[in-house]
């Protein structure tokens, strides 16, 4: 059985260049894989946001307003993770990184965690740019 993604070999066992269809198929799979990784980052951020109230409640407490904001942020993060398959999903996810980091205004620890997640997000976008050939520069944030 031949692999449809593998370029056919000639009689003298020299591999040929992949066809445009094979390149397109690989790019589609890489795009799906990187979008899945980005969705996983957003879901992990939602879990972290939900764990923060419990950790802070042991020390000083959050208050009702901060707790509601963090729970709403977690719900939105999960919703955006589900929307990453849309063409504009990466741009919305990038905006969520800003919102997540902005929670550092309320809770200083969240700023540090937000910067770490934003760095992972940017690294995945750069990897996506290398593999899929998506736009670079500021357009990298939009996918």
pLDDT tens, position by position, 58-110: 666 677 888 888 889 999 999 999 999 888 889 999 999 998 898 888 778 88
Q: Which pLDDT does position 78 carry in this prediction?
A: 94
Output the pLDDT for position 133: 75
What does the mean pLDDT of the chain come to? 82
pLDDT over threshold 90, residue 4: no
pLDDT number for residue 39: 94
How high is the pLDDT of residue 136? 61
Q: Provide the percentage of residues in the chain whose pLDDT is more than 90.
A: 27
- pLDDT in the model for residue 40: 95
Quote the percentage of the chain above a pLDDT of 70.
77
Question: Which residues, including other chains, have CB under 8 Å from residue 103's CB and lie 6 or more apart?
Answer: 49, 69, 70, 73, 110, 111, 114
Name the token pair of 69.
């904001």
Task: Note the pLDDT of residue 6.
Answer: 59
Q: pLDDT tens digit string along 26-51?
A: 888 888 888 999 999 999 999 998 88
Name the band, by pLDDT with cuts 50, 70 and 90, for residue 7: low
Helix (H), strand (E), coil (C) string for the chain: CCCCCCCCECCCCCECCCCHHHHHHHHHHHHHHHHHHHHHHHHHHHHHHHHHHHHHHCCCCCCHHHHHHHHHHHHHHHHHHHCCCCCCHHHHHHHHHHHHHHHHHCCHHHHHHHHHHHHHHHHHHHHHHHHHCCCCHHHHHHC
């Amino acid at each position: 059985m031949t692999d449809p993604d593998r370029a056919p070999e000639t009689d003298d066992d020299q591999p040929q260049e992949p066809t445009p269809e094979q390149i397109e198929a690989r790019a589609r799979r890489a795009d799906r894989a990187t979008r899945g990784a980005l969705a996983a980052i957003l879901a992990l951020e939602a879990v972290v946001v939900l764990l923060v109230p419990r950790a802070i409640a042991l020390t000083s407490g959050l208050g009702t307003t901060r707790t509601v904001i963090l729970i709403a942020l977690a719900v939105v993060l999960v919703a955006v993770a589900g929307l990453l398959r849309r063409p504009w999903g990466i741009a919305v996810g990038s905006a969520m990184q800003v919102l997540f980091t902005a929670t550092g205004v309320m809770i200083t620890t969240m700023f540090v965690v937000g910067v770490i997640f934003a760095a992972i997000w940017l690294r995945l976008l750069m990897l996506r740019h290398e593999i899929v050939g998506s736009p670079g520069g500021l357009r990298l944030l939009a996918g």
